[in-house]
Structure 1
Amino acid sequence: MDNRDFLLGNSNVPHYIWTIICIMLLCSCEEQATQTSQQDIRIAQVKTMTIQSQKWQEMISAYGVIEAAKEVQITVEFSAKIKSVFFKEGQTVKRGQQLITFDSTKRKLRLQNAEQSVKDARARLHKARQEARSTRKLFMHGNAARTKYDATEAKLRQAMAQYEQSLTATKLAMRELRESRLISPVTGVVEKCNVHSGETILPGQLIGVIQVVETVRVATYVSEKDINHLRIGSEARVTSSGVAGYTYSARVEALGIKADTRTGNFPVKLMIENKQGLLRPGMTAKVVLQGLEIQDAIVVPDNILVDRQRRKVLYIVKNNAAEEIEPVIGTSPNDQVLILQGLHPGDKVITSNLQQIVNGSPVKEIP
């Protein structure tokens, strides 16, 4: 039998002995509780950054589609038979490149006839001038009647008009002969080719359509909160998976004044120089537009924002404890986040051990 059994089984033990034993047991429990409590309270060591205001350029990201900046419809003002066609749909053509050769047999004949008409009209004009000079002399000396004088003058005017008409006809015939070769007025990609060899075309008939690609347009959309942050002429960067490794500079050409009824977003159009012709209509594009420039902005790394119950929060150090802040954030280009509300210059934001911290956690700053 040990001492404990002896005490418990001995009813003759004095009461003061029992009192001493109880006090000793209580002191032992309190000491153990204090040690346990001190072990449970752990101070998190954290790194911080001090908030400072700075100049910041807002960047707005969007996705869009490459479009042709200009579309040229190919037509002619005359009727002709096509001899050869040198372009097809999807082909890239250069400014001045030959597209079609027309049958020039009739044009050459028209030019020959027009040139002969000029010779005949010139001869008639020469003869009319000689007769007019002779009649004028006779009329001035009273040897010719007034009616004869008037008749020779009218004949001269008629000969001059016929000569002018023949010259005009010759110029027209020469132009038609030159137009036996139809050339491209622009550099671009052929969207449509509506003719083939041996076909006779009519004046105004649509021969083909060329989309200009020296300069292309990007059509995109931005949200209602971003549309008023853009201006005509604002700069942007454009990339396309169809032209890997290239980044194009662009400028805002037009801002929509009415939102799309389906999405609520506003249309934005940008112009891009496409001198190499690598961007083609229909390609997708990623656009990063420059928005407003803020002089005294507060910007933080996006990795210091953590999810707490579907909320984006961060923590600042206040009185050696972590205080939870749910800030109002703006756009997030790259790895930076614009803080619109919730932080102030001088605040110390916790940047490490964030998963171990909750609101009110004791913390200690470390370098």
Structure 2
Amino acid sequence: MRITNKHGRQLNNSCQCSGTIRLITVCLTALLAACGADETATSNTPDDTEVTVRTVTLQPTTWQGNVTSFGVIEALEEVSIAAELSGTVKAVYVDEGDEVSVGQLLLELDPRKSELALTQASKALEEAKAQLDDASQKLARRSNLAASNTISVEALDSAKVALDSASARYQRAVAAHELAQRHLEDTRIYSPANGQVDIQAVESGEPVRAGETLVTLQLSGGLRMQTWVSETDVLLLYAGNAATIIASALPGQSYPATIEWLGVAADKNTGNYPVKLLLNSPDAQLRPGMTATATMQTRPVDDVLILPEQALVDRARRKVVFVVEEGVARMREPVLATGLANHLQILAGLAPNEEVIVDGHAFVVEGSAITARQR
């Protein structure tokens, strides 16, 4: 473009360049100001802000959960006590016509095979736990190396696969140990209620099959509840454990009960196992045929680390936990098992006495400064 003055003469190039330089200077000043504003905004991210959270300290505990199921109240006339497993009768402590009380030992099966199975299961559980701990430590080491780009992604993925496999083996070993322990307990048969021995069906030294009736008790009166539980829940229950029953027609009242019997075979149509509960002190308001809900105590588990479910948060499509270490948040990805109400069993990745954040995660990231308050 040609630029001229009012006399029609062309302006020189120096004026034109001077205007251009001034325009560039203005643009650079605006750009630098914008960059300064962005830098100020970045410095106010949650990483630089002390976050106040609530925490819990992990401690080993004995955990006992509940199984809830729906069923029907039935009239109680007699109780047939069946063998939970096959074996040989070691001793019978009652005769027909004897009066028996709840919890009284009625007979025993030979426990030697069950004792051997429990010993083997205990050793297998110890080995599986050691392998799980080793796999967890290797993954932790490789995760640290991966953060500094000193190992390959394939090596880190291999460690994660190894930990998943070790976790699966450990859970199978825990289930096998619990089953072996239950089999040993089932060699001693106790009376589930007060009553009179109607039929003594076996003698000492006689072989019996699982599900075979051993003793029939005649009860003078009372009620029981018939219900059904899944194949997972039936392994958590055992005869003699406490329960509470609430009838649908009487929602304001609860009745103590005892697990009387657990079925040894699942229903072919539903896959669920039958459970019978004996009401300890029914009253006249309860009637046979009423529907009810039973809450049954499960087998207690010792020395368990329990994580509150609200401690888990989503980060990069992963379920993680934040631990407070010296006033700073550190992210962990623990190995967990489900099935304890709104709590999770910790298998690996967290240790006793660690302080875990359970509330206030919204602005917490790796390295956040933390002010912790115990819940």
- Which TM-score applies when normalising by structure 2? 0.48
In our comparison, the structure showing a higher alpha carbon Rg is: 1
- Which TM-score applies when normalising by structure 1? 0.49
